[in-house]
Amino acid sequence: IAGITQAPTSQILAAGRRMTLRCTQDMRHNAMYWYRQDLGLGLRLIHYSNTAGTTGKGEVPDGYSVSRANTDDFPLTLASAVPSQTSVYFCASSERGQGNSPLHFGNGTRLTVT
């Protein structure tokens, strides 16, 4: 089934540890995004990529990094996790970046930093 796959589904991580959240899409979409979703807040953009080989910072990029070596994969790395990074992380893609094409979301990664 075409779509976006995120891994892991959930993770408990000790503060200070490094963690990479994986995201793969098979829709050949140009643009990909990482969002975090916290209770009572709207989705907040962490990083995005409008096309393979390029990335950009979103609203809350500090403490996170991304890479886009190819069209399909867009991993998100937490270099040294802190408790405030406890959240649900959603990867998304769209046909075009910076446009009006709808977002397709993965099922999310629930991350708890202790």
Partner 1 sequence: GQNIDQPTEMTATEGAIVQINCTYQTSGFNGLFWYQQHAGEAPTFLSYNVLDGLEEKGRFSSFLSRSKGYSYLLLKELQMKDSASYLCAVLDSNYQLIWGAGTKLIIKP
Residues found near partner 1 in the complex (CB under 8 A): 40-45, 90, 98-100, 102-108
Bridge partners of 12, per DSSP, are 112
Residue 19 φ then ψ, to 5°: -150, 135
Of 43 and 52, which has the nearer Cβ to partner 1?
43
Of 14 and 100, which has the nearer Cβ to partner 1?
100
Residue 85 φ then ψ, to 5°: -90, 5
Of 14 and 41, which has the nearer Cβ to partner 1?
41
Structure tokens at 36: 């975090």
Least CB distance to partner 1 at residue 95 (A): 12
Of 3 and 16, which has the nearer Cβ to partner 1?
3
Least CB distance to partner 1 at residue 44 (A): 8
Least CB distance to partner 1 at residue 13 (A): 20
Least CB distance to partner 1 at residue 80 (A): 27
**C-alpha to C-alpha distance for 25 and 92, rounded to whole angstroms:** 9
**C-alpha to C-alpha distance for 108 and 88, rounded to whole angstroms:** 6
Residue 14 φ then ψ, to 5°: -75, 140
